[in-house]
């Protein structure tokens, strides 16, 4: 018998409740289009029931490749509602990478924005529905919805630990890994975001953060849980954002510094007459940015996490007494990643043998996490899962110090991931690409500091005897073969790369030189 006192946790339930409580409230704004919560739910029901009609088996994957437009929000609810698994693909990837993800996830269907169709050139033998983002009849996506029913769809969830989505990350190896989220984890992470960002039914959330990033840090579910308004954004343009702050009365948004810095420095930047709360992730806010935010009436929360932790896992909780300190001090305190949020576990920082390092703010170790908001594992990759979960904790591969007050602060990255504008770039992947250039003998790629992007890749290259290549040729070669943002910002040619006695390239030394004078080794 089903238990009266147990319902399987799923964030899909938030839409059902908000549509019930606030049917006529605006749920989604997209330019001139507006959907009430009732309309939002009906569109989700249509999509869900139409998918169900297709006869997909429970647990099969459905891919989405689109910007922050209503269909992406709808897919985030409709796909899991009928027991399917959402694969929201990064729109900045190359066609080859998209092909890999569609194939690896064995997605049965792809919904693609008309501006991104060329990214599907390698995808074959699979149903594709084009989204023209008109909201009108004749738009293939809208016609697909029209074939479904707006009536309530019964959830087929049997166990809250079932997979709700797979989010592909480029980790330390060349191939992306599929991070599996559960209904339970997504539900709990979303509630924490609602609490930490102090959202409520008056919230107008601006979609600056891509929904394909960790399912938008679980904010599609969090904003819906508190019956806030989602304000969509096809393209992140600072001028447009300033306009929406006023015209839509935006109260909350999330973004990496790549978005925040141009926003704060934009010619339309001005003190807002209402406070806006922003969560910044990917890299900490600089003192300059903090000062700018203050004058703009933007309150800043620093979050940290990985794809493997549903996005935000730690929060640098503000202590009221810090507000008395000089701004430089405040920025220093807020630059720290903090500790696990309210539904996460507390993070630890450990040495190679998984012993806690001293909380002295100096010793370095690896941040490890566990708890309900850690991924279930990597899809179809037991080996990588086993490695990531070694010793019963998830290994972030981020190197941090542990402060006496228990807050962690990231100082470096264990492996070779470069985080540029919030996007992960695998240095190994860039190296392998460069190495395919006929003139190249060996390549090492490291991150260099970049004011706008946080970090960018730089390549150190040795050329084969008798061959020649220019910096621009190497960069262009990369842009042809992998996503453009992964191409190195610069290329330095040398006779030899620094190596250990066993012949391993000492990338540490290369990076050290580039980051001289900076306190951290990550941007």
Residues that bind a copy of itself (CB under 8 A): 1-2, 4-7, 9, 14, 16-17, 20-23, 25, 161, 182, 184-185, 191, 194-195, 198, 200-202, 225-227, 317-320, 338-340, 342-343, 345-346, 370-377, 389, 392-394, 405-406
For residue 237, what are the contacts with CB-CB under 8 A and spacing of at least 6?
none
* Count of helices and strands (H, E) across the chain: 16, 25
CB nearer to a copy of itself: pick between 405 and 436? 405
CB nearer to a copy of itself: pick between 27 and 448? 27
The answer to whether 305 touches 313, Cβ cutoff 8 Å, is yes
**Least distance to a copy of itself from the beta carbon of 34, Å?**
16
**Least distance to a copy of itself from the beta carbon of 19, Å?**
10
CB nearer to a copy of itself: pick between 57 and 320? 320
The vertex-289 CA angle with 283 and 290, nearest 5°, equals: 95
CB nearer to a copy of itself: pick between 91 and 215? 215
**Least distance to a copy of itself from the beta carbon of 437, Å?**
40
CB nearer to a copy of itself: pick between 22 and 493? 22
**Least distance to a copy of itself from the beta carbon of 211, Å?**
21
**Least distance to a copy of itself from the beta carbon of 207, Å?**
21
Tokens of 223: 């904003």
**Least distance to a copy of itself from the beta carbon of 79, Å?**
21
Tokens of 156: 């087929």
For residue 389, what are the contacts with CB-CB under 8 A and spacing of at least 6?
377, 395
Question: How close are the terminal C-alpha atoms of the chain, in Å?
Answer: 54
CB nearer to a copy of itself: pick between 160 and 429? 160
**Least distance to a copy of itself from the beta carbon of 340, Å?**
7
DSSP state letter for 345: P
**Least distance to a copy of itself from the beta carbon of 342, Å?**
6
The candidate with the shortest Cα–Cα distance to 214, out of 333, 93, 311, is 311
Could you write out the DSSP letters of every residue in 454-491? Answer: EEEEEEEEEEPTT----HHHHHHHHHHHS-GGGS-SEE
Report the relative pairing of strands 490-493 and 454-463 from DSSP bridges. Answer: parallel
CB nearer to a copy of itself: pick between 4 and 151? 4
d(CA 12, CA 145): 18
**Least distance to a copy of itself from the beta carbon of 309, Å?**
10
d(CA 67, CA 14): 23
CB nearer to a copy of itself: pick between 146 and 201? 201
The 3-state DSSP composition of the chain as helix, strand, coil percent (nearest 5) reads: 35, 25, 40
The answer to whether 268 touches 239, Cβ cutoff 8 Å, is yes
Which helix or strand (DSSP H or E) is residue 168 part of? strand 163-170
CB nearer to a copy of itself: pick between 344 and 399? 344
CB nearer to a copy of itself: pick between 193 and 426? 193
The answer to whether 393 touches 368, Cβ cutoff 8 Å, is yes
The vertex-279 CA angle with 302 and 397, nearest 5°, equals: 50
**Least distance to a copy of itself from the beta carbon of 128, Å?**
33
**Least distance to a copy of itself from the beta carbon of 50, Å?**
25
For residue 303, what are the contacts with CB-CB under 8 A and spacing of at least 6?
196, 217, 254, 279, 280, 281, 311, 312, 314, 315, 316, 341
**Least distance to a copy of itself from the beta carbon of 304, Å?**
14
CB nearer to a copy of itself: pick between 54 and 372? 372
Long-range contacts from 314-318, C-beta under 8 angstroms, 24+ separation: 314/338, 314/339, 314/340, 314/341, 314/344, 314/347, 314/408, 315/196, 315/339, 315/340, 315/341, 316/407
How many angstroms separate the Cα of 353 from the Cα of each of 147, 349, 357, 420?
A: 57, 11, 10, 30
CB nearer to a copy of itself: pick between 195 and 291? 195
């Amino acid at each position: 018998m089903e238990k009266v006192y147990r319902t399987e946790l799923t964030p899909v339930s938030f839409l059902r409740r908000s549509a019930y409580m606030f049917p006529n409230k605006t749920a989604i704004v997209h330019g001139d289009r507006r959907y009430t919560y009732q309309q939002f739910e009906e569109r989700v029901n249509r999509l869900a029931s139409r998918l169900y009609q297709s006869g997909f088996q429970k647990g099969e994957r459905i891919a989405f490749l689109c910007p922050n437009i209503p269909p992406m929000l709808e897919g985030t609810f409709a796909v899991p509602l009928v027991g399917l698994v959402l694969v929201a693909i990064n729109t900045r990837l190359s066609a080859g990478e998209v092909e890999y993800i569609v194939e690896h996830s064995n997605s049965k269907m792809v919904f693609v924005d008309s501006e991104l169709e060329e990214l599907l050139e390698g995808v074959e033998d699979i149903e594709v529905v084009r989204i023209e983002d008109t909201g009108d009849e004749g738009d293939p996506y809208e016609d697909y919805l029209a074939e479904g029913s707006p009536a309530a769809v019964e959830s087929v969830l049997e166990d809250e630990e079932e997979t709700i989505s797979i989010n592909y990350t480029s980790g330390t190896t060349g191939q992306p890994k599929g991070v599996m989220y559960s209904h339970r984890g997504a539900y709990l992470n979303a509630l924490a975001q609602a609490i930490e960002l102090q959202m409520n039914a008056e919230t107008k959330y601006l979609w600056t953060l891509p929904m394909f990033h960790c399912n938008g840090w679980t904010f599609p579910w969090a904003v819906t849980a508190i019956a806030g308004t989602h304000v969509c954004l096809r393209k992140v343009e600072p001028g447009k954002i300033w306009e929406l702050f006023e015209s839509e009365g935006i109260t909350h948004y999330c973004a990496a510094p790549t978005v925040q810095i141009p926003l704060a420095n934009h010619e339309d930047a001005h003190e807002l007459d209402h406070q806006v709360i922003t969560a910044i992730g990917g890299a900490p806010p600089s003192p300059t940015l903090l000062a700018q935010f203050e004058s703009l009436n933007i309150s800043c929360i620093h979050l940290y996490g990985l794809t493997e932790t549903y996005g935000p896992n730690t929060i640098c909780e503000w202590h009221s007494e810090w507000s008395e300190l000089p701004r430089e001090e405040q920025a220093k305190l807020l630059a720290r990643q903090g500790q696990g949020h309210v539904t996460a576990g507390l993070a630890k920082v450990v040495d190679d043998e998984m012993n806690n390092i001293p909380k002295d703010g100096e010793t370095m170790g690896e941040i490890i996490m566990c708890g309900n908001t850690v991924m279930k594992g990597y899809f179809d990759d037991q080996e990588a899962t086993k490695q990531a979960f070694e010793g019963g904790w998830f290994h972030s591969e981020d190197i941090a110090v542990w402060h006496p007050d228990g807050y962690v602060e990231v100082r470096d990255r264990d492996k070779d991931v470069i985080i540029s504008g919030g996007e992960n770039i695998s240095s190994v992947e860039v190296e392998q690409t460069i190495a395919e250039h006929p003139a190249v003998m060996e390549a090492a790629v490291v991150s260099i500091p970049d004011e706008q992007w946080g970090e960018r890749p730089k390549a150190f290259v040795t050329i084969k005897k008798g061959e020649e290549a220019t910096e621009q040729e190497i960069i262009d070669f990369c842009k042809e073969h992998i996503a453009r943002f992964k191409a190195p910002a610069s290329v330095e040619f040398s006779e030899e790369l620094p190596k250990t006695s066993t012949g391993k390239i000492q990338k540490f030394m290369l990076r050290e030189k580039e980051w001289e004078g900076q306190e951290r080794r990550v941007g």
